[in-house]
Structure formats: C-alpha cells, structure tokens
Amino acid sequence: IPRTNPLIPLFQQPLVQEIFECQCESVCRYPGDRFTLTFQGRILSFRCSSNHLYRRSLKEFYLFGPSATLPVGMSRELMTWSLHSLSSSSQNMWKRMWRTLQIHIDIPRTNPLIPLFQQPLVQEIFERILFIWAIRHPASGYVQGINDLVTPFFVVFLSEYVEEDVENFDVTNLSQDMLRSIEADSFWCMSKLLDGIQDNYTFAQPGIQKKVKALEELVSRIDEQVHNHFRRYEVEYLQFAFRWMNNLLMRELPLRCTIRLWDTYQSEPEGFSHFHLYVCAAFLIKWRKEILDEEDFQGLLMLLQNLPTIHWGNEEIGLLLAEAYRLKYMFADAPNHYRR
C-alpha cells in the first residue's frame, strides 16, 4: 500500500491507506494462534483450531457483515476459524477464498466510467468467468488485471444482440439464453488469449519482466534520446510499462480503441505475446515530444500513467499499428539490432 503512487501525498495519508488495505496482519501456524484481517477499516479476528474446519467463505462474512449468518456458537467479535496449516488441502482452500475475495473487489473497478460494467448482472457474469478460469489454471490463479481482459470480448459478443449504444445498454432486456451464450463465448475467448501469455501471470510474472526488458532494449535503439532522458531522471521502464504488458494497453486506451487493436492482434501470429511489444514501443515514441518536455521524475511518471488518449479513434490506432509494423519488420527478424 505505501508504494501506491509514493510521490502523491494523498496516497500516503493513513486514512487513505486504510481504505486501500486488505491484508493479513499475522499468519497463524499452530492451533490456538490468532490472526486478524483488516478490511475497509473493520478488524476481524480469527482463531485456529485443529479439531475441525468451519467450511465457511470469508467472502460472505466480509461482504455482508452484520447480515451474514454465522455458524452456531460463533460470535461476530471472534470467529473461530480452523486451519490445518500443514495440510496442502487447507492451504488451497485458503488461497481459493482470497482469490474469490480479490475477484469480487476488482470487478467494480473494471471500466468504472462505463455504465454497462456497473450493472449487477454483468458483474455476476464477470465474477463467474474469472473464478472458473482461476480454478482451471491453478499455476497462476487469478491475478489483478485479468478482469480487464474480459471486457472487449463481452462487448463484441453483446453487440450481436444490440443495435444501440452498447456501453449504456441494460442487459436485463436480454433473455437468459442470450446472456449464457455471451458469457460462454467471452470465457472461452479470454481463455484462448491467456493460453498464449500465461507466463505473464504465474509467480513473479516472468513474462512481463522479459517483455519490459525487451521494450527497454528496443527503445534504446530506435530513440536513444528518449531512452537517455529516462535514465537521466531515473525513470525505470517497469514503473510505467508493467501495466502496458499486464493489461495489454487497456488502461491506456478507450475501449473502442482496444477492440480495434485486438482485432489486429488476433490476425497476427503471436499477436498478444509478440507483436504487442512493438505496439508498446510505437505507443511510447508517439509521445516523444511530451516526454522530452518533462524534466523531473514525477512529471514523467504522471504523464506516462495518464496519457491523453480519451479522444482516440480508429485513425489514431491505424497510425499506431502502422508504426508498430514498421518496427517489427526492422527488428523482429534481426534481434541483434536492438541488443547492446
């Protein structure tokens, strides 16, 4: 939490950090140990027991608070929770509970300015998609950012049934069969996409680390002045490009532009895993003038994390892809060209 935008005083205030906080303050390992969880300013206390395991989801307790129905004999002040801490099955159960909670927290953050994604029915669909995918892929499980990857597929499949503005459409007007078809198609398309980039989401996210390093090497060759400008003000590529790789530029572009961009990715061999690198390089150089005009660390990071693309459309994406193709044909088959 303290690392969240460390140069902005707002996020260093204790009250703001408490709102952001959802962490385990101590982990119990033996029967009788107690641990506490802080969630949205509310402290919940639990105690281990080796005799039995309350098969109850933490998610419900957090989400419904006082209205949740607790097991018989359990007080709200002290919820007895049994964890066989040395048992792999209990550890997997514990991870699954946290995974479910994290998904539920992230869903409302998905495109918060688009009314479509704030509808309860849509959020339920997204939660099912993400939870089932996480269960089917235990090597990575759910990772923050995967929730964004559902949205382009969902909008495209929803468009088959809607002629009006999709972003403001009320999905309760559709039949259950239509919604089930949209949900199933979105799930399998997202699964196919993630099959090619799953190393982005496994432990330590090695795929993203490699791609960010490759981006740094590529930029150092195609625009040494921009690269040296970053070095001069101690800006690390990981500080801004991690999100570009983790979310496939979805946080940087309007949804309509993401759909256009992904259309090209799907027509390219290894579009999401390989061609995306050259799109990111072209995207960075696109803002060359603005980058060079900034002469301090904070200004550079704020620019790179809030690039003015809100009014972008197909024309801007077409130019971006053209530049990415140019870079690919220059460097993809000659990797030594961008190695030091």
Q: Strand, coil or helix: what is 113? A: coil
Residue 68 lies in a domain: yes
Beta strand 22-24 pairing with 78-80: unpaired
The reply to whether 156 and 219 lie within a common domain is no
Whether 38 and 1 have beta carbons less than 8 Å apart is answered as: no
The reply to whether 48 and 123 lie within a common domain is no
Residue 106 lies in a domain: yes
How crowded is residue 101: how many other Cβ atoms within 10 Å of its Cβ? 20
Q: What is the distance of C-alpha 58 from the center of its chain?
A: 22
The reply to whether 214 and 328 lie within a common domain is yes
Residue 325 lies in a domain: yes
Its pTM stands at: 0.70
Beta-carbon contacts of 182 under 8 Å, excluding residues fewer than 6 positions away, are 125, 154, 157, 158, 161, 174
Whether 196 and 142 have beta carbons less than 8 Å apart is answered as: no
Whether 57 and 100 have beta carbons less than 8 Å apart is answered as: yes
Task: Fill in the amino acid letter for 106.
Answer: D
* Main-chain phi, psi angles of 71, to 5 degrees: -60, 155
DSSP-derived letter for residue 308 is S
The reply to whether 261 and 291 lie within a common domain is yes
Q: Tell me the residue range of the domain where 273 lies.
A: 206-338
Residue 3 lies in a domain: no
Q: How much is the CA Rg of the chain, to the nearest whole Å?
A: 23
pLDDT tens digits, the chain, 340 residues: what are they? 777 787 888 888 887 776 776 443 333 333 344 444 444 444 444 444 433 332 333 333 334 444 444 444 434 433 333 333 334 454 555 555 556 678 888 898 888 889 999 999 999 999 999 999 998 988 888 888 899 999 999 999 999 999 888 999 999 999 999 999 999 999 999 999 999 998 898 888 899 999 999 999 999 999 999 999 999 999 999 999 999 999 999 999 999 999 999 999 999 988 999 999 999 999 999 999 999 999 999 999 999 999 999 999 999 999 999 999 999 988 876 666 555 5
The reply to whether 251 and 283 lie within a common domain is yes
